[in-house]
Amino acid sequence: MHTFDDLVARILARAEEPGTAVIGIAGGPGAGKSTLTDALLTATRARLGRRAVGHVPMDGFHLADVELRRLGRLDRKGAPETFDVAGYAALLRRIRAGTELVYAPGFERDLEQPVAGAIPVFPETAVLLTEGNYLLLDQPGWCSVAAEIDETWYCRTQDNVRLARLVDRHIAFGKSADAARHWVDEVDEPNARLVAATAVRADLVVSVDAVMSHGV
């Protein structure tokens, strides 16, 4: 089993390589991707400096609700077809070029909307962490994202923990308990099953609960 220190060491090793390396952190909804990413950023930036390790979340490439409504996809927000996947791939390509300051979009969970120009990624960035559900998805568009990632780690956690975390998250951001459970059953879980099938393409499978409980 990989430890938190193992993961930090892999990032530090990538930082020694020329150019900007991109590490993808994939996994289903509620798998703990953001929690792991935040801990890795804290640990590696303490060693290398803040600008040396960047972070771009896939969530910043959510299509806005107004566009999802126009497309008739608002009721399945979070599915692969509800992201600007071409924009995501293009931004990763710009970052890898390492020739300019690149502004990436963030995601405001209180609003459940992307926020343009929220995240600066500097040309001297040695390693970029990017996390999201569909980094290993073998579909047009998502394959272009995968082509810009040097290695991808798949986050795995116990289903009962992941499901409880998802329901709690939806409640925290305004859904009723019944609406939260319905959304998890009808939207999050179909997406989770799709993502789980991609784990075989990962370079590394990480047990997030074990890593976070023993390594940080």
Residue range 142-183, pLDDT digits in tens: 999 999 999 999 999 888 787 888 788 888 878 898 888 888
- pTM of the full predicted structure? 0.90
- Token pair belonging to 102: 């690149």
Buried b (16+ CB within 10 A) or exposed e, 16-50: eeeebbbbbbbbbbbbbbbbbbebbbebbeeebee
State the pLDDT at residue 215: 53
Helix, strand, coil shares, percent, the chain, to 5: 50, 20, 30
Query: What does the alpha-carbon distance between residue 114 and residue 207 come to, in Å, rounded to a whole number?
Result: 29
The radius of gyration of the chain from alpha carbons, rounded to an integer in Å, stands at: 17
pLDDT score of 29 more than 90: no
| Mean pLDDT calculated for residue range 116-136 | 96
